[in-house]
């Protein structure tokens, strides 16, 4: 990987380390989005070791500065949720583009990263699909347990079904190998029944 790539990752991590929200992991407190971005990179490396540089950056920047657009600023409806998600995608793409421009990437490279971050053409674009698979894998492994604790099983099973529908066959195989706790595994089994 190029030194431009390393500098871009450093700057993405620097922005995410400003997250005021923290998460405990392995007895240590981490800025929430920094930990998420590192999990994304680790899963991408395992899932697609030959991923192009654009996809590696898009994975690392998937939630860059996510805390700056608060969910509570949007109605607690499906429409409100979708609007919030779209605003986040624009923010993530814009902030990442600024970083990539600063470190010297060309416009074509930057546009490709923005395209991926905005998750365009899932199921049609191989890299977009890979990114979506990795997002789903990270959710299932690290966030499903806590999400399930806050919601009724029926709602969680429905979310897992929707998550599964976004994934590729390769993503499904990887998901079935994840080290899930018993409750999460049971919910996944219900969703797939």
Segment among 29-33, 43-47, 69-73, 113-117 with least mean pLDDT: 69-73
Give rounded-to-5 percent helix, strand, coil for the chain.
70, 5, 25
Q: Does residue 119 carry a pLDDT above 90? A: no
> Does one domain contain both 114 and 139?
no
- Nearest CA to 98 out of 1, 35, 14 is that of 14
How far is Cα 179 from Cα 161, in angstroms, rounded to an integer?
A: 19
> Does one domain contain both 99 and 38?
yes
Give mean pLDDT, residues 43-65: 96
Confidence of residue 1 (pLDDT cuts 50, 70, 90): low
Report percent pLDDT > 70 for the chain: 99
**Last residue of some domain: 118, 139, 170?**
118
Total residue count of the chain as it appears in this document: 193
Range of the domain at 162: 125-193
Q: How high does pLDDT run on average in the chain? A: 93
pLDDT for residue 191? 92
> Does one domain contain both 129 and 106?
no
- Nearest CA to 113 out of 128, 103, 135 is that of 128
Confidence of residue 2 (pLDDT cuts 50, 70, 90): low
> Does one domain contain both 106 and 134?
no
How far is Cα 60 from Cα 67, in angstroms, rounded to an integer?
A: 16
> Does one domain contain both 112 and 135?
no
**Last residue of some domain: 118, 134, 155?**
118
Provide the strand spans (E) within the chain: 22-25, 28-31
Provide the greatest CA pair distance for the chain.
49
> Does one domain contain both 44 and 68?
yes
> Does one domain contain both 52 and 105?
yes
> Does one domain contain both 73 and 149?
no
**Last residue of some domain: 84, 118, 152?**
118
Residue 89 contacts residue 117 (beta carbons within 8 Å): yes
> Does one domain contain both 152 and 78?
no
> Does one domain contain both 71 and 26?
yes
Count the domains in the chain: 2
Give mean pLDDT, residues 25-44: 95
pLDDT for residue 116? 96
pLDDT for residue 28? 92
Report percent pLDDT > 90 for the chain: 76
Q: CB pairs under 8 A, 24+ apart, for 67-72?
A: 67/19, 67/20, 67/21, 67/32, 67/33
> Does one domain contain both 88 and 163?
no
Estimate to the nearest angstrom the gap between the alpha carbon of 33 and the chain centroid.
10
- Nearest CA to 132 out of 67, 8, 48 is that of 48
Give mean pLDDT, residues 110-121: 93
> Does one domain contain both 60 and 130?
no
């Amino acid at each position: 990987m190029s030194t431009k790539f390393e500098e871009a990752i450093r700057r993405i991590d620097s922005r995410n380390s400003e997250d005021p929200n923290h998460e405990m992991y392995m007895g240590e407190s981490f800025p929430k989005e920094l930990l998420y971005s590192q999990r994304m990179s680790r899963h991408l490396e395992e899932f697609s070791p030959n991923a192009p540089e654009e996809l590696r950056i898009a994975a690392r920047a998937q939630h860059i500065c996510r805390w700056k657009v608060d969910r509570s600023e949007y109605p607690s409806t499906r429409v409100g949720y979708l609007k919030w998600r779209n605003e986040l995608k624009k923010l993530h793409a814009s902030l990442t583009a600024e970083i990539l421009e600063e470190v010297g990437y060309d416009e074509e490279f930057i546009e490709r990263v923005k395209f991926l971050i905005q998750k365009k053409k899932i199921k049609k674009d191989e890299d977009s699909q890979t990114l979506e698979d990795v997002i789903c894998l990270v959710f299932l492994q690290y966030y499903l347990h806590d999400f399930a604790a806050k919601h009724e099983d029926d709602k969680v099973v429905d979310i897992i079904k929707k998550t599964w529908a976004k994934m590729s066959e390769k993503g499904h195989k990887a998901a079935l190998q994840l080290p899930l706790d018993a409750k999460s595994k049971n919910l996944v089994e219900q969703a797939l029944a």
